[in-house]
Amino acid sequence: MALLDSIPYVELVEGSRPWPRARVSDEGWGRAIDLLADGRLTLLGLWADMPDVHMALLDQHDDVAVLSFHAEDGKYPSVAARHPPAGRLERAIRDLFGLEAEGAPDARPWLELGFWDVRQPLGPRQPAQEPPPYEFLPVEGDGLHQIPVGPVHAGIIEPGHFRFTANGEHIVRLEQRLGYVHKGIESLMAGAALERGAKLAGRTSGDSTVAYAYAFAQAAEAALQRSPPPRAVYLRALMAELERLANHFGDIGAICNDASFALMHAQCGILRERTLRAAAALFGHRLMMDVIVPGGVTRDIAADDAATIHALIAEVRKVFPELVELYDSTASLQDRTVTTGIVRTDYARQFGAGGYVGRASGRDFDARRDLGYAPYRDLAFDVPVLEAGDVNARVWIRIREVEQSLFLIEQILERLPDGQTLTPIDADGRSGEGIGFAEAFRGDVLVWLRLDGNGRIARCHLRDASWFQWPLLEVAIENNIVADFPLCNKSFNCSYSGHDL
Amino acid sequence: MRRTLLESLSHGPLTEAPPQRDEAALSELAESFKRTARAKLGRSLSIRQVDAGSCNGCELEIHALNNAFYDLERFGLRFVASPRHADVLLVTGPVTKNMRQALLRTYNATPDPKWVVAVGTCAIDGGIFAGSYAVAGGVKDVIPVDLHIRGCPPSPTDLLKGLRALLENANRRGYDG
């Protein structure tokens, strides 16, 4: 049964690929909210494209569909009223487009912090006005104190504001305020050619530049009904797995470092550096920016490049198991990570948390396997899942994924097809819309793209996995001590830039 | 753990020979430094990194400066947690309108003498994000900049070249105020 069989819709929108988009009235929109609130559907995204609001959904059989509600008079029924994961998305839609979610539980702005010259920049574009002061949620009780942190943090970290309310050492509430690195990427996308769009997508969250370019290229290729050459498909996956390895090494080391265990940090830093150097040797850029483009990839690898990768894999297989053993047998480190910052499995499911945040809390989802994009449907790999939901579980998911990525890279090199790596796409005069997913190291990236009939981007929405992870960090930190916040935060490693856009 | 430590000792250091100083950076600095800082600062500079809107790519490469291969601290350069402790602000990103005030406050909280290094293509003029309603521009549009290190993102070697030039210049030319 397809997802849309359970939702009454008015009509299917022509040209939406590879998944359908349907126009719905109050009835269909309400039915979708029922199913979200019942846990039978997962919210993948909520965004606007004037004058419509779009909702991307995932069902239990991994079918995907987008629903569109015509926001007449600038209003649409709030999803967050009954399904909290939509809350921040609705607040962002109001800030950017001026569309109101009727019945929404939180009327405060989200991305707009009062510094823009224009209000609702993607909608009616009203002149800016002095905003009322932002009200943090009220806290009451004896002996509580607040610790405001950021936007400028103490380390080499992205900016954001955290408002802790603590009772002694124990955190009773964390409230996040984000939006500081909002760059207006979606406004820059409008009217851009695909080439520029790919570059912008690749700079949405630099640590996931490959995943974003991958998802963007898949969305563009779906919209234009073009397939990249088989060799390009495999090279994309090779880059995606190298990116995952580099980030997981960095994260495992950094989490241990936040528990003051510098040895792991130093050793994992070496593995990360070796991975980036291999990436630079093969693809000419340490982070592999701008290599994936709609139509394929811009660089091919040479025959002897495989040896570089095999040497990297051999080094990782030699060093990494010892580091894992060190992690697992150091009691002082385990004391910090085990039972710290627990994300409950029901929250992970409700929020559709992707990546290691979801998989450490029982949510068995990986876009590579469950949405089956090329070439992963032809590759064998396991998706590790744990239930404990603590910092330790999020470390272990990363450890297991490092091992799986090594297997994947070996398969990719073994099967790497010959031939072209790029079929240039001529988008002139073309319309259509596409949805692309890629499993970034921190979770699934969604890119939705609509072309304007002249082959340019009319609207592009990029949804980072962080949207559904940041709120869970607020919950996970409750009743933990203030000193464990950096540890918990690093174990999530949400993207600020990917979220703020 | 003991075995890992012993193995680290036996294979010798991974730390590589320092790269050459960036001559272009040196000449840019020659314009901006009129005084010598050596008497005040010795051969060391404390760096406070500020992300004013970057995609986080630059942060990844700045992080890498601390790994065993680049070992930033051997040059007397180190990252500090507060602008109050800093001689250098290392600023990345196009400056977003939402970060403009925070960047200014951080600059004002940094004691004199201080230098500002703008890192990455976006930090020059906003880069690919220039023209957005949400972007104030490059770093120099908000605070005075002494040195630009280009790249998207600049590699750790590029960063080292620029920072070594900064250190050399701060030591050579100086401070007399």
pLDDT one-digit tens code per residue, B25-34: 877 776 666 4
Q: Do B132 and A187 touch (CB under 8 A)?
A: yes
Kindly report the number of other CB atoms within 10 A of residue B2's CB atom.
Answer: 6
Q: Give the pLDDT of residue B175.
A: 45
The CA R_g of chain B, rounded to the nearest whole Å, is 17
Measured between CA atoms, how close is B159 to chain A, in angstroms? 14
Q: Provide, as residue numbers in chain A, all residues whose Cβ is less than 8 Å from the Cβ of B133.
A: 116-118, 121, 184, 187
CB-based contact A269 B56, cutoff 8 Å: no
Question: Helix, strand, or coil here: A104?
Answer: coil
Tens of pLDDT, residue by residue over B88-143, are: 999 999 999 999 999 999 999 999 999 999 999 999 999 999 999 999 999 999 99
- Determine the Cα–Cα distance for residues A266 and B79; give it in Å rounded to an integer: 16
When pLDDT is averaged across residues A38-61 and rounded to a whole number, the result is: 97
Q: What is the pLDDT of residue B174?
A: 47
Question: Which residues make beta-bridge pairs with A172?
Answer: none
Give me the pLDDT at residue B173, please: 53
In this predicted structure, the answer to whether residue A205 has a pLDDT above a threshold of 70 is yes
pLDDT at B176 over 50: no
Asked if residues A156 and B80 have their Cβ atoms less than 8 Å apart, the reply is: no
- For chain A positions 74-133, those within 8 Å of chain B (CB to CB) are 113, 115-118, 121
Closest chain B CA to residue A156: B49
**Residues B56, A151: C-beta atoms closer than 8 Å:** no
The half-sphere exposure of A342 on its side-chain side, counting CA atoms within 13 A, is 9
| Sheet of strand A443-452, all strands in order from the earlier edge strand to the far edge | A16-17, A431-440, A443-452, A457-463
Tokens matching residue A265: 């940090």
Query: CB contact, 8 Å: A267 with chain B?
Result: yes
**pLDDT category, B7, cuts 50, 70, 90?**
confident
Within 8 A of A159 by CB-CB distance, chain B residues are 51-52, 99, 102
Query: What pLDDT sits at residue B6?
Result: 76
**Burial of residue B113 (number of CB atoms within 10 Å: 0-12, 13-18, 19+):** middle
Please answer yes or no on whether B102 and A116 come within 8 Å at the CB atom: no
At B3 the pLDDT is: 78
Q: Are strands A126-127 and A118-119 parallel, antiparallel or unpaired?
A: antiparallel
Q: How far does the CA of residue B146 sit from the closest CA of chain A (Å)?
A: 20
What residue ranges in A361-479 does DSSP mark as E strands? 431-440, 443-452, 457-463
Structure tokens at A56: 């991307």
Q: Which residues from B are below 8 Å from A199, CB to CB?
A: 128
Asked whether the predicted pLDDT for residue B39 surpasses 80, the reply is: no
A185 part of contact set with chain B, CB < 8 Å: yes
CA distance A195 to A185: 15
What pLDDT score does B28 carry?
A: 78
Compute and round to an integer the Cα radius of gyration of chain A.
22
Helix (H) / strand (E) element for A11: namely strand A11-12
Contacts of B53 in chain A (CB under 8 A): 180-181, 183
**CA–CA dist A323, A325 (Å, integer):** 5
Nearest to A208, CA basis, from A438, A474, A450: A438
A386-419 confidence digits (pLDDT tens): 999 999 999 999 999 999 999 999 999 999 999 9
pLDDT tens digits along A92-120: 999 999 999 999 999 999 999 999 999 99
A152 touching B (Cβ < 8 Å): yes
Q: Which of residues 187-206 of A touch B (CB under 8 A)?
A: 187-188, 196, 199-200, 203-206
Measured CA to CA, the distance from residue A197 to residue A458 in angstroms comes to 11
pLDDT of residue A429: 83
Q: What is the least distance, in Å, from the CA of A315 to any CA of chain B?
A: 14
- Tens of pLDDT, residue by residue over A331-342, are 999 999 999 999
Query: What percent of chain A stands above pLDDT 90?
Result: 95
In the structure encoding, which two tokens stand for residue A394, read together? 């999020």
Chain-chain contact of A152 with B50 (C-beta, under 8 angstroms): yes
- The encoded tokens of residue A192 equal 């851009």
Q: Residues A130-150, buried b or exposed e (16+ Cβ, 10 A)?
A: eeeeeeeeeeeeeeeeeeeeb
Nearest CA in chain B to A325: B1
Spell out the SS3 assignment of A15-69: CEECCCEEEECHHHHHHHHHHHHCCCEEEEEEEEECCEEEEEEEECCCCEEEEEE
Look over chain A and give the mean of its residue pLDDT values, rounded to a whole number.
96
Size of interface A-B (CB pairs under 8 A): 146
| 0.80 exceeded by pTM | yes
Distance CA A136, CA A193 (A): 41
> Exposed, middle or buried by CB within 10 Å (0-12, 13-18, 19+), for A247?
buried
pLDDT in tens, B45-84: 999 999 999 999 999 999 999 999 999 999 999 999 999 9
Which residue of chain B comes nearest to A322, CA vs CA?
B4
Predicted confidence band of residue B41 (pLDDT cuts 50, 70, 90): low
Q: Is the predicted pLDDT of residue B177 greater than 50, yes or no?
A: no
Could you tell me which residues are beta bridge partners of residue B137? B95
Secondary structure (DSSP) of B28-60: HHHHH--SB-HHHHTT-EEEEEEESS--SHHHH
Contacts of B66 in chain A (CB under 8 A): 269
Shortest CB distance from A151 goes to which of B67, B93, B102? B102
Task: Round to whole Å and give the CA distance between B8 and B10.
Answer: 6
Per-residue confidence band for A89, with pLDDT thresholds at 50, 70 and 90: very high
Pairing status of strand B77-79 against strand B45-51: parallel
Whole-angstrom distance, CA of residue A87 vs CA of residue A350: 13
Residue A318's contacts (CB-CB under 8 Å, 6 or more residues apart) are none
Task: Please give the backbone phi and psi of residue A429, each rounded to the nearest 5 degrees, phi first.
Answer: 70, 10
DSSP state of A464: -
Q: What is the DSSP letter of A145?
A: E
Of A154, A183, A200, the CB nearest to B53: A183
ipTM of model over 0.90: yes
With a cut of 90, say whether residue B8 has pLDDT above it.
no
Burial class (CB in 10 A: 0-12, 13-18, 19+), B150: middle
Taking an 8 Å cut-off on Cβ atoms, the answer to whether B152 and A289 are in contact is: yes
One-letter amino acid identity for B165? A
Mean of pLDDT values over A472-479: 97
Best residue in A126, A181, A186 for a mutation probing chain B (most B CBs within 10 Å): A181
Say what the pLDDT of residue A372 is.
87
User: Where do we find the tokens 């400056």?
Assistant: B95
Q: What is the mean pLDDT of residues B139-163?
A: 97
Q: Considering only CA atoms, which of A442, A64, A495, A80 is closest in space to residue A92?
A: A80
Of A285, A298, A290, A288, whose CA–CA distance to A198 is shortest? A290
